[in-house]
Structure 1
Amino acid sequence: MANNAREFEYTQDDFDFLRKISNQHSGILVPDDKFDMFYSRLSKRVRLLGFTRFKQYCDYLQHHPEQEFTEFINAVTTNLTSFFREKHHFDYLAETVLPELLKKNQAQRQIKVWSAGCSTGEEPYSLAMTLLENVPSGWDVKILATDLDTNVLATAAEGIYALERVTSIGEQRLKRWFQKGVGAQSRKARARADLRRIIHFKQLNLMQDWPMQGVFDVIFCRNVLIYFDRDTKARLVNRYAGLLRQGGHLFIGHSESLHQIDVPFMLVGHTIYRKTDV
């Protein structure tokens, strides 16, 4: 049933079509209560394309995916993040994981971290600060930061944030790792080159092939698993295990768990897992 109070005609059939193709592409489950959210997030696209009904947008998306599909996925992907979100993860990384890696990886003097679902970049920049503050110079420190949404990746790669978003990291860190803007940019700050140079941002659909070579010491995949069904979670986490060194760590979101999922990890902290022998 369409709601006549809306700017655009929008029906349950439209919503079902849109969430079906979103799920087919990304694996993300879209529950019934996201009906209004889909309308809100896609109305801009419908308006921009000059349509009056969501049915027209559905038809356009179906017949012109090369022009519209990326815009569609960008619009319906959730991107909520902040610097040092779930601070206990970064504390554990600094106090427990990194000292262990400095001993274990002494021969190659390299540490590799993957931020899967990096959104607008606050997580990988928080990881970069933690690593550079705790790893001696002369080590090769690399962070791969991936996301499905190309728009948020562009923001992340630029590394420019409103001052109110970065002041939460504390004055000392702000002075060390960010450069405040001047003039028209005075209410913004940019991550310094030391942070940006160790992060490689790349678009990636977690449900498709992964081009990465080699293995990681740490993977952050936080507030991503919550969108998938049990079987998809198990497949994804087992794929992570395949790219983690033995004893490597997986960090997931505060409302997520690997409980009763058949994966080679043991819980070592609050939503912190360590890869076990298989």
Structure 2
Amino acid sequence: MSEPVEGPASEAGQWSGAGQMERDLILTDEDFRQIRQLIYQRAGIVLAEHKREMVYSRLAKRLRHHGLTRFSDYLARLARQPEAREWEAFTNALTTNLTAFFREAHHFPLLAAHVRERREPVRIWSAAASTGEEPYSIAMTLLEALGSRATNAKVVATDIDTEALERARAGIYPVEQVHKLDQVRVKRFFHKGRGRHEGLARVRPEVASLVEFKALNLLAPSWPIQGPFDAIFCRNIMIYFDKETQAKILERFAPLLKPDGLLFAGHSENFSYISKVFKLRGQTVYTLAERR
């Protein structure tokens, strides 16, 4: 899942000088309160008080798209159309995508060792797929670990941000991002663009064919996926939910994992004090506390 607005210093700094002059839209305290409530209800995202300027920056594009000058008018428009596509744009605007290939690199050798001796088809769920770097990294790991048997493997990649998923499906990335990988992987898993695609790289078909992208809201009453999975990656998103929401999601993960399945968390996430369903196996890696 794409990560909620975090407010990096580079963006926050835009609110000094010229940035303030561009603040031509009206965002009241009540508007901000409603926005925080709506994004929590729809996506479980908890926005702190200090995210106000970031919320203004992100949603201002939607107001201008509709020719509006007041956030209250935009919120009224959403309220009048509960099934409108604009809700999707609203949610997309309040998420950002901080990811990279083989991010938190220690997880991938663990995954390779976990699946290497499997004889049945391997299935992995990337529950916060963002723009695709994580699920493609998982797919590359499966190709390296399983060899020809990887053709029967599947990575289910989900995210709430539909725009991020479209970029993920395309599988095209700036070449400087890809070149952070070792050259063996670059040559094996990517095509470099030429001509008008100079400066870009696309994941090879054998990588892309292992990944299935789907839109999924972790707060939805039902998920359009079925287990069991050998591993679930849910990294760097749970920290933006409150503890009650985290516990509910962990409870729902449990029956989707194989009895010896692995749950991979982000570097700043600790599930040990949230739920008794999982127990810590190693650095940000969990297993079921009891077999189900």
**TM-score, with length taken from structure 2:** 0.89
Distance 1:158 1:270 in 2: 32
Alignment of 1:143-162 (within 5 A): 143-162=155-174
Q: In structure 2, what residue type is equivalent to 1:32?
A: E
130, 134, 149: which one pairs with 2:141? 130
Q: In structure 2, what residue type is equivalent to 1:57?
A: Y
| 1:159-218 C-alpha deviation (Å, 9 max, x unpaired) | 000111111112111111000111111100000000110100000011111122231000
Q: Secondary structure at the match of 1:137?
A: helix
Q: Indicate if the aligned counterparts of 1:247 and 1:276 stay in contact, CA closer than 8 A.
A: no
Q: Indicate if the aligned counterparts of 1:128 and 1:195 stay in contact, CA closer than 8 A.
A: yes
Q: Indicate if the aligned counterparts of 1:27 and 1:232 stay in contact, CA closer than 8 A.
A: yes
1:56 matches 2:68: no
Q: Percentage identity across aligned positions?
A: 45
Q: Quick one: structure 1 residues 67 and 268, their matched pair in 2 at CA, closer, same or farther if it must change by over 3 Å?
A: closer
Match of 1:170 in 2: 182
Q: Secondary structure at the match of 2:109?
A: helix
226, 233, 236: which one pairs with 2:239? 226
Moved over 4 A (4+): none
1:69 matches 2:84: no
Q: Indicate if the aligned counterparts of 2:26 and 2:70 stay in contact, CA closer than 8 A.
A: yes
Q: Quick one: structure 1 residues 266 and 22, their matched pair in 2 at CA, closer, same or farther if it must change by over 3 Å?
A: same
| 1:39-63 C-alpha deviation (Å, 9 max, x unpaired) | 0111111111111111111111211
117, 139, 142: which one pairs with 2:154? 142
Offset, 1:152: 0.2
1:185 matches 2:197: yes
1:206 matches 2:218: yes
Q: In structure 1, what residue type is equivalent to 2:246?
A: K
Distance 1:196 1:167 in 2: 18
Match of 1:110 in 2: 121
| 1:56-104 C-alpha deviation (Å, 9 max, x unpaired) | 111112112414101000100121111111111112212x3123xx2xx
**TM-score, with length taken from structure 1:** 0.93
Number of residue-to-residue matches in the alignment: 269
